[in-house]
Amino acid sequence: MPRPSAFRVVMASLTTMLAGVFSLQAQALELDDWSSVEAKARGQTVYFNAWGGDSRINGYIDWVAQQVQSRHDIELVHVKLGDTAEAVSRIVAEKSAGNLERGAIDLIWINGENFAALKEAGLLHGPWAEQLPNFSLTAPEANPEVRSDFTLPVEGLEAPWGKAQITFYYDSARVETPPRSMQALLDWARNHPGRFTYPLIPDFLGSTFLKQALLSLAENRGPLYGPVSEADFASITAPLWDYLDALHPHLWRGGRSFPNSSARLRQLMGDGELSLAFTFTPSEPAASVANYQLPPTTRSYMFDDGTLGNVHFLAIPFNARHKAGALVVANFLLSPQAQARKQDITVWGDATVLAMEALTDRQRQAFESLPENPATLAPEALGRTLPEPHPSWMERLEQAWLERYGAR
């Protein structure tokens, strides 16, 4: 039984929450009548909180801002984050302070754990994504990945924006035959000590490497797609720890230090400290060669039995002030024109979430005429995608890793 005082507090916060819900309904948008949304969006300023660490992505968002300005009279402001958690903090702070309608964030670029956390805490607006006019172009029946984020059902709380998949890359001047499976990676590392590593847990890419290794090494993948609490964590992850125990002595710095982020991992490739690395953005090696960050002899590939992949999304916080504007921008970002430009390797190179068969011939043409680059992955290499495990696994894996290797 909760003590009366605590109980009152719970009731009070429930009441505030309900009041918030009602006031939101009062100004609810008629999603079925898209032109009314567009009319409401006119003249709004949309604050788009998105990671700002890549000048090419920033350049693409600048272009989007010009487009929505001229097409819809919306001013799009890119709030450049160093880490998406900064925006999540703000939403939590606004909720704590009772700001239920005038939030400072209108649109946010997220997926995975961040989405799971915001969804669970009830901090997202929606459902709205499936009512976007352009959503049908993703052919969701045939491509269920746009409806689930790390196995969590999206339920219309976020709209798909792009696709990512673990892609390995190596310097072909130093490596002749790169490893094409987890087991081969261990042998390769033994023969090339200090030339491979992965980002420090809990960096996103580092944790993704753990999941990739676990998926490859686990005898039975089934339990990985349910909550971790329902599985026998110790026995399922035992092969992973054996593998890492064997791998770590052959890593960069003998596994005693790890790069802080995926950006730092790429820097180490550029410095020649590593000769094999990986990324979550298939186009990144090619783009980084064009940007002088990686050796011109860089080549990318994927594991033979597939690598982990996922979709990244756009969400609207529960208290966003300019929801109509955010909806119109999200819809524009899903348009064939915006998606084709995003996939252009000279612009950003982020894979589209649109289904080619759902497009008209004219719409498809924009995708077919995109330029190529020797460091780019051949299109047929993509496709063997392993879906993400349930998000609860990530947290447990990170904890277990930190206990084993986080302090030595």
Partner 1 sequence: MPSGHAVGVRLAPWLAIALLSLPVASGLAGVIAPAFGWLPALGGNALTLVHWQALLQAPGLGRMVQLSYVTGLASALLSLSIVVLFLGAFMHTRLFTAVRRLLSPLLAVPHAAAAIGLAFLLAPSGLLSRSLSPWLTGWQYPPDILFPGDPHGLALIAGLVIKEVPFLLLMSLAALPQCQASERLCMARALGYGPLSAFLKAVLPGLYPLLRLPIYAVIAFASSTVDVALILGPTTPPTLSVAVLRWLNDPDLTMRFMASAGALLQLVVTLAALASWWLAERLVRQLMRGWLENGRRRSGDMLLGGVALSAVSLSVLLILGSLIGLILWSLAAYWPFPQALPQPPTLRNWMGAAAGLGDPLFQAAVIGLAATALSIVLVVGALEAETLHERPIRPGAQLILYLPLLVPPVAFLFGLVMMQVQLGVAPGLSVVILGHAIFVLPYVFLSLAESYRRLDPRWAHLARSLGAGPARVFWRMRLPMLSVPLLTAAAVGFAVSIGQYLPTLLLGAGRISTITTEAVSLASGGDRRLTAVYALWQLALPALGFALALGLPRLLFRRRSGLLTPV
**What residues between 80 and 99 interact with partner 1 by CB under 8 A?**
80-83, 85-90, 92-99
CB burial class (10 A; 0-12, 13-18, 19+) of residue 171? Answer: buried
Candidate residues 34, 63, 241, 405; the one interacting with partner 1 per rule CB under 8 A: 405
Residues in Cβ contact with 200 at an 8 Å cutoff, skipping those fewer than 6 apart = 206, 258, 259, 260, 261
| Under rule CB under 8 A, residue 263 binds partner 1 | yes
Determine contact, residues 105/27, Cβ cutoff 8 Å: no
Give the interface size with partner 1 as a residue count (CB under 8 A): 77
Beta carbon nearer to partner 1, 6 or 142: 6
* Residues of span 11-30 touching partner 1 by CB under 8 A: 13
Is residue 79 at the binding interface for partner 1, with CB under 8 A as the rule?
yes
What is the number of residues in the chain? 408
Tally Cβ neighbours within 10 Å of residue 263: 15
Using rule CB under 8 A, residue 105 touches partner 1: yes
Q: Where are the alpha helices (DSSP H) in 230-275?
A: 233-247, 262-270
User: Of the ranges 155-163, 210-218, 261-269, 371-379, which one interacts with partner 1 (CB under 8 A)?
Assistant: 261-269
Identified binder of partner 1 from the candidate list 227, 296, 374, 383, rule CB under 8 A: 296
176 binds partner 1, rule: CB under 8 A? no
Q: Got the DSSP string for 270-323? A: HTTS-SEEEES-TTHHHHHHHTTSS-TTEEEE--TT-EEEEEEEEE-BTTBS-H
By beta-carbon proximity to partner 1, the closer residue of 237 and 335 is 237
38 vs 94 by CB, closer to partner 1: 94
User: Least distance from C-beta 316 to partner 1, angstroms?
Assistant: 16
Please, what is the minimum distance in Å from the beta carbon of residue 165 to partner 1? 20
Interface with partner 1 includes 311 (CB under 8 A)?
Answer: no
Taking residues 275 to 294 in sequence order and writing x for each that binds partner 1 by CB under 8 A, - otherwise, the string is x---------------xxxx
Nearest Cα to Cα of residue 52 among 82, 91, 31? 82
For the CB of residue 324, give the shortest distance to partner 1 in the complex, in Å. Answer: 19
- Omega before 202 within 30 of 0, i.e. cis: yes
Question: Residue 407 interacts with partner 1 (CB under 8 A)?
Answer: yes
Distance, CA of 348 to chain centre: 15
Q: Which is nearer to partner 1, 13 or 181 (CB)?
A: 13
Spatial neighbors of 174 by CB under 8 A, at least 6 apart, are: 195, 275
Q: Which two tokens stand for residue 38?
A: 């567009």
Determine, following the binding rule CB under 8 A, whether residue 271 of this chain makes contact with partner 1.
Answer: yes
Greatest CA separation for the chain? 71
CA distances 32 to 37, 133, 263, 359, Å, are 9, 9, 42, 22
Q: Which stretch binds partner 1 (CB under 8 A): 5-13, 21-29, 133-141, 342-350?
A: 5-13
Footprint of partner 1 on 181-240 (CB under 8 A):
193-194, 200, 202
Q: Is 253 in the site for partner 1 (CB under 8 A)?
A: yes
Q: Nearest to residue 85, comparing CAs of 105, 99, 65?
A: 105
Rg of the chain in Å (alpha carbons):
22
Closer residue to partner 1 in complex, CB, 80/364 = 80
End-to-end CA distance of the chain: 43
> Residue 368 or residue 403: which is nearer to partner 1 going by CB?
403
Min dist CB 290 to partner 1, Å, is: 10
Our CB check for partner 1 shows the closer of 117 and 366 to be 117
Residue whose tokens read 């799971």: 116
Footprint on residues 111-170 left by partner 1 (CB under 8 A): 112-114, 116-117, 120-121
Kindly state the smallest distance separating residue 212's Cβ from partner 1, in Å.
19
Nearer to partner 1, 47 or 332 (CB): 47
Q: Does 34 bind partner 1 (CB under 8 A)?
A: no
